Structures are given as structure tokens and as C-alpha cells.
Structure 1
């Protein structure tokens, strides 16, 4: 996400109206709009693999996968935000006429060195405040690995999120609450990994 301001500030209604006719995607943070840079072929391949793998697993479950064209709306004490996750799973969908979802159960972001600070900081903090969210997955581009934040829920209530790392083609990302299993082999299918100093800005 770019740090350059496009408008300062605008309403949610004006943002959504402008986004509906814009050739470029923008994210919205409490009245400020940020232009989103395009992703590399590698980034888009991993994101597409994630969406396809999720969609295949979710057939017949009542949940469905959405790609990066669908926004997620987050409303908290800091204000309203709209982000474009690389992939997400929703089991209680917004009306078909909406351009965003409010209740994702899983969010996937494909990260690079240039997006790591935002994906692991600002976005992670905002995503983990979503009451419906069961898991947040950050997929690397320079190694066969992903960081998984999974919410623990027991009879006593919400146990918060636990962080784990999966690595290697046969390792499995398991989100118990959905339930869902996603292997790194599926995420990295036909993907040539980036060097650690990747300049991808998506």
C-alpha cells in the first residue's frame, strides 16, 4: 500500500462511490485514501493459488473464498478501514450488491520485504480485531513458509490468537474453526520463489 495521500479526508460513502469507478484500487483508513501498488506475477500467482485452493475445499460448506477484488471493512474505535486482502474466506456474506465483506473467518496476505511492516503491523492489528476472524495467514515470497495466527475458542470464551510458523511443501496450515487445511504445496504450485531482497510492492 502506498503512503501517498489521495484525499484528506473523505467520507466512507465518497470513498466507496469513487472506488466503484476507479481504474486503480485504494485502501481507506479513517478518512484517508491510499493508492495500492500492483503486484508482481509471483505475488499474483501465490494469491491465485490460495483463492483456488480455498474455493475447492469450501464447496458445499456454506462458506466461500473471495479474491483480492473484494474489500474487507473493519470498524473499530480508531475509525473505519477498508483493505483488499489477497484472499479471504467468508461464511456469513454481505449482500451481493456490496463491494466489501464484514465477517471474514480467514484472511490471507502474500508479503514481501516492502509490505512486511504493514502486513505484520498495521493490518495484523486491525484484522485480529475482527470478531468473526478465526485465522490470519501471511505467506512469504522468498521461502516456503507462512506465519499463521489462529484464534483459540473454548467453552470458557475467546482465548486470543496463537502464532505459529509452517514451512516446507508438505506442511499444512490448519484452521480448526472453519475447519480447513491448506498445504504449502498448494500455495506455491508452479511458483518460482523470489530472492530475499525482493522489491515487490504489492
Structure 2
């Protein structure tokens, strides 16, 4: 596995300073190392979230407090770098932790809204799609079905534009549940059929399992 170029840059700045008496490269190296730490914290937090979801599938889910700590650390570091894109993504994941792991929608809502604003500012359509998706879930749970549909449809539009096929399929399942709640049976069936077709195209087995589960519940 190759060494990250940011570490290589830091090593060069070190040698340039120690052996060449030129410390001009240290500030940039420090910034890149901070960005690397932020990226690593975010990735580690996402890994722990995936572990939680896999455990939940087996009814063995246990909260790992490191997940929240890592996302919060990532957000703090991105904020110090004035990296709106990174801060928005990390903020979304903090909200996701509260919503998914702790079932705390009230804490999650302002975090999703902040993540949406930051992602919009940064032009990060993927994080926007995630924030909108999870705001849709919040609205659905609160009985605000029209708002939930609006958020999920916008998230789905963004995901189609990004070519995020598995994400589109996952959203269509959410829209199918909304259609069921609004007694739009024909829409519900069509949404699940498309979700299954898209999931099959990209080998998203977990999403196909969700489609089957949805069909059994509706």
C-alpha cells in the first residue's frame, strides 16, 4: 500500500527544515496532516457505523462510543481548516449516529439541517442527498408525509445525477413506504420493482433484501 502523499510532503518539509535550514514548507505540511487526520477520523467512524449496521442485521447491535468521538473529531478538524465540504460530511455523520444508533431524532434534526447547508455551500451533492434522505426519515416518523416525500424525491434526483445507483434504490424503498402510508398502492409497487431492478444491476444484495422485506410488510 502506497504512502499518502500528504505524509511524503510532511517528510520532505521536515528534511528541508532540519537539513536545509528552510522551514517554509512546514505550515503547508501541517495543514495537510490535519486534513489527513480529519479524513482518517471520518473513515474510522464510518467503519464503526458499518459494523453497527451489520450487527443490527443480526440483532446484535451494540453502540461503540468511539464512533461519535471520531465524527466529532473529524468535524472539529475540518472546521479548523475552513473545509466546508468535510465539515458538512462529518456533521451529517454525527446526526446519523444520533438518529440511527441512539434513535434520537430531535438531536439529529439540527445536525442534518446544518450538514445540508454546509454541503449546499460546498457543492457536495452526495452529502446533500444523505442529509435530505435522513430528514425525510425524520419527517416520515413525525407523520409529515408530504415533507418526507419532498426530501426523499430531491435526494433521489441528486443520486440519479451522481450515478449512485445503490443509493437511488435505497431511496425508492423509502418512497415506497411513504406511498403505502399515503395509500398510493400502484406507486408503491412500481417503486419497489424499480428499486429491486436497480439493486440487482449493481449487486446491492442488502438493498434487495430490504425490498423483499418491504413487500412482505405492505
TM-score by shorter chain over 0.5: no
TM-score of the aligned structures, taking structure 1 as reference length:
0.27
Higher relative contact order (CA 8 A, sep 6+): 1
Choose between structure 1 and 2: higher strand proportion.
1
TM-score of the aligned structures, taking structure 2 as reference length:
0.25
Larger radius of gyration: 2
Choose between structure 1 and 2: higher helix proportion.
2
